[in-house]
Structure 1
């Protein structure tokens, strides 16, 4: 498993820890993150959730090999479970980003309560270039948060 979790001083940390694959997220990782978010939400000792990656790398997005082998087909897909858990979390969710946050890595930031992004980070949403529809309302949320060009 490439998701590390810990709770310390009321903060539940979810760390994407797969640097050998640039923190690309698999279905199993989405399941682990959903479980961690749901557990943090249910734990009265947890006051906030922190989502982070490795130093210099948040996530390169979906593991495309895993994604092609197990594409999301219905609402029970792990990526949807994760996003449901993120959207339904009643605790403040903070993201700390260093390095790249690609695809879902940027999309999930739009649904956090607070996001810290390092000066040298790179956020990208390559959906159109990959022939994909932007996910989880990102084409609506980005202009609402940042304004229109």
Structure 2
């Protein structure tokens, strides 16, 4: 199978391991409309790739994924109807990750923010650099964490902790995330590649049907939760996309100042 033609996600095979690299390094791999569309289909294409058995998801350069691109967020404010496409794609991203039978390993090499953090947390095993920053700061831009954060955070660290981080948008280092069980492993950045490569190679030489179907079995509960939560959380996110607070947050980021929220 030839490597698919993606504009914002680089495909590389190393033996039976497929590496998917978010590839907007000059923007810290922030998600724009094109990348969001490609993320909505990349895990389906990767699942169907006959030349790989294990997937590694990572980011080019010094970031994993910095969340939503500022210009893309402003475009959604200016044209709220366009958020309907984003909402449909957001569900496909999460469910295609959950439905992919191949093990997906996250290599969190740098900041994983917002949707970037959601992508990492929905992977099956997560390796993070100790100094990587993980956060879901939707509330800091006046939005609901509708793209999957409300599903996955409570399953990994419990409801009380999840609500604290989702309601504040506070960040964790990779080391802190590993200590509380949000990610599997945190290690020095210089050791990240060796650890991920060794684990991916180990899985690729395992009894693959047993590995895949163990993942599928565990994900049944997550899929049920995602089905019960995501329609509501995305709907709430779409409402906050139209809010004055969201526009104020985006303007404040552009003007490099603190936002002044009014609750509207």
TM range (shorter): 0.7 to 0.9
- Does 2:13 correspond to 1:2? no
Question: Which blocks of at least 5 consecutive residues in structure 2 are unaligned?
Answer: 1-6, 77-81, 162-264
Q: How far apart in 2 are the matches of 1:135 and 1:110?
A: 14
Question: Which blocks of at least 5 consecutive residues in structure 1 are unaligned?
Answer: none
Q: Which residue is 2:109 aligned to? A: 98
How many residue pairs are counted as aligned between the two chains? 149
Query: Which stretch shifts more, 68-77 or 127-136?
Result: 68-77
8 Å contact kept, 1:103–1:126: yes
Q: How far apart in 2 are the matches of 1:17 and 1:56?
A: 11
Q: How far apart in 2 are the matches of 1:123 and 1:91?
A: 24
Q: Sort the Cα spacing of 1:75 and 1:32 in 2 relative to 1 into closer, same or farther, 3 A.
A: closer
TM-score, normalised by the number of residues in structure 2: 0.51
- Does 2:130 correspond to 1:124? no
Task: Select 1:58's aligned residue among 61, 64, 67.
Answer: 64
- Does 2:108 correspond to 1:108? no
Q: Which has the higher helix share?
A: 2
TM-score, normalised by the number of residues in structure 1: 0.86
Query: Displacement of 1:140 after TM fit?
Result: 4.2
Query: Displacement of 1:91 after TM fit?
Result: 0.9
Question: Whose Rg is larger?
Answer: 2
8 Å contact kept, 1:28–1:78: no
Q: How far apart in 1 are the matches of 2:50 and 2:145?
A: 35
Could you say what the CA RMSD is over the residues aligned between the two structures, in angstroms? 2.1
Query: Displacement of 1:75 after TM fit?
Result: 7.4
Any idea what SS the aligned residue of 1:135 has?
A: coil
Q: Which has the higher contact order (CA 8 A, sep 6+)?
A: 1
